[in-house]
Amino acid sequence: MSLLVVGLSHRSAPVSVLERAALSADAQVKLLQDTLAAEPAAEAAVLATCNRIELYADVDKFHAGVAELSLLLAQHSGVGLEELTPYLYVHYEDRAVHHLFSVACGLDSMVVGEGQILGQIKDALATAQELHTAGRLLNDLFQQALRVGKRAHSETGIDRAGQSLVTFGLEQLSAGAAVEAWAKGRKALVIGAGSMSSLAAATLARAGVGEIVIANRTFERAERLARILTDSEDTDVSARAVPMESVPVELTRADIAVSCTGATGLVLTAEAVAAAVEGRTGLSVPGAESARTPSPAARVAQPGAPLAPAGAEEGCPLDLPGVQSTAGFSVLGEAAVAGMAAAELEQHAAWVDKGDAAGRAQRPAVAGTATVHEAGVSTLLDPEGDADAIAALVSAVATAGRIPERRRPEPVAEAPRPAPVLALLDLAMPRDIDSAVHRLLGVRLVDIESLAEASADAPMAADVDQVRRIVSDEVAAFGAAQRAAHITPTVVALRAMAADVVASEIARLDGRLPGLDDKQRGEITQAVRRVVDKLLHAPTVRVKQLAAEPGGAGYADALRTLFDLDPETVASVSRADDEPKNENENARNRGRS
């Protein structure tokens, strides 16, 4: 059997795909059960976090295992296999071990070095043990991954580079200011009471917020978390619990809101956030309308949608006075539309056309106007205008999809955004907060997608190289231990067979020499056993050493063949070794719960 992992993460897939592929707790259980029922898999475990979904399995066939695990991920995530496949990665044998150890050390995290992943790996192992889907291989693998992760954090300074996703998100919200100075005395709302929400609440408390309100669908869990925060000796924060129905009201009082629930739909819509800010300030929120309705460009892009009359929309980004001197789009007006998507050109053509109406009225009347439909662009042309220039623009759109920038446009001063009165941190996958909130003025939203973009530029710590060396050493040691363990049942079966031979020969000796006293019989028995042990010692020690080396898996088969060992005897030794370990692990899990 061989270790295989199939998965996707923030490194291989966009957040929009991760969001759709996110697995609920029930879906993870069903995935484990179906994986174990599949023919190629003997063991299975699922590691699902806010930025990764990975299925680990012990399989007997590589290609069949990859196909089966990929199909199961697609089925249980609800994302079609054809759509999901380009974002999947596959690791096998030592590469799979290396991947999990790197994940455990925080090297593969969105925030390099963060330690939350250790708790998530521990939870994944506990779930697999509880469902009896983890056997010898995955038990050893995940337990060793936890040890490797702890070693990396204790022996290196990876913690200096790493921080929790919560801390990183709060740093993004504070926009460069120290989190403690930014958060001190503010009121915070935490939606959810799971592990991530609990970490967020504790982080906010240590940062010095004045009040924390916990909202959760199970009110008792919210109360328990609020009590823990209030009773903590490390902080003096005031914490209280509220039901989920109170979130809209509490949002009007909060300065910071963190959401991380297991909900499959939105917890906070753009309308709800806009209403909360309006309730807090008493003023309408700029941008609220655009967050609720499609933009003019989006409406133009819809097939069959009527074109808005010229001048009917406000906020046209074109510099109309600078364009009105020509008809339609010309080289002089090209800078104004440089970089504009093709879908937006039709609407802006209407603006320019109306703006130049007075100029055209002074020219001789023409029989009519021509309309060009090419590459999704519909532009009104003046026969006496710059038709060649317009044709060149249309051709460029057909090939590039956007108007090329041939001359540098004049810089346009952006309207200053008001300082946010509400800071939102969305750590859920799928997201809890509507992404349209990004367009609301007076609100700052940081979610998994924006964290992924920010972390791409985060500096790497000097200790990362040291952690990578630790991972490489631990992968080699784990592989050697697994290969050695693979031959151990064969060696045990060989020694058991030798003991049976000794016992049989001593019994035969008793029949031939019945006059032997107990002392003589004991001496003969010990002498025979010493001879057998000495004959077996060197070969069994050497075969364990050879089996621990890369490519040493065949020595167990050779030993079974040379000594004609019964395969069922070897298998029974393996099962006997597994049972005490599983019982001990289950007992430890029961003790933790």
Consult the annotation and say whether 115 binds a ligand.
yes
Taking CA atoms, 370 is separated from 257, 310, 373, 378, 558, in Å, by 55, 18, 10, 10, 85
466 is in an annotated binding site: no
Contact indicator for 198, 225 with CB cutoff of 8 Å: yes
Output the DSSP codes for 233-272.
SS---EEEEEEGGGHHHHHHH-SEEEE----SS-SB-HHH
**293 in a known ligand binding site:** no
**Residue closest to 337 by CA, chosen among 355, 357, 356, 316:** 316
Q: Of residues 50, 105, 260, 316, which has the active-site annotation?
A: 50
Question: CA 535, 544, 551, 40 torsion: positive or negative?
Answer: positive
First to last CA, the chain: 32
Nearest one of 425, 421, 426 to 443, comparing CA atoms: 421
Q: Answer for the pair 297, 347: CB distance below 8 angstroms, yes or no.
A: yes
Helix (H) or strand (E) holding 215, with range, is strand 211-216
Residue 78 assigned ligand-binding role: no
> What tokens appear for 495 in the block?
């020694």
The verdict on whether 316 is a catalytic residue reads: no
Q: Please indicate if the annotation marks 196 as binding a ligand.
A: yes
Do 196 and 260 form a contact (C-beta atoms < 8 A)?
Answer: yes
> Which tokens in the block code for residue 46?
């699922």
Which amino acid is residue 166, in one-letter code?
Answer: V
Question: Is 50 labeled as ligand-binding?
Answer: yes
Phi, psi of 79 (to 5 degrees): -100, 130
3 state SS for 372-430: EEECCEEEEECCCCCHHHHHHHHHHHHHHCECCCCCCCCCCCCCCCCCCCEEEEECCCC
Q: Provide the pairing of β-strand 422-426 with 443-446.
A: parallel
| 197 known ligand binder | yes
Tell me if 51 is assigned to a ligand binding site. yes
120 is in an annotated binding site: yes
Residue 116 labeled ligand binder: yes
442 annotated among ligand-binding-site residues: no
Token reading at 455: 């972390």
Q: Show binding-site residues for NADP(+).
A: 192-197
Q: Show binding-site residues for substrate.
A: 49-52, 109, 114-116, 120
Catalytic residues: 50
Q: Show binding-site residues.
A: 49-52, 109, 114-116, 120, 192-197
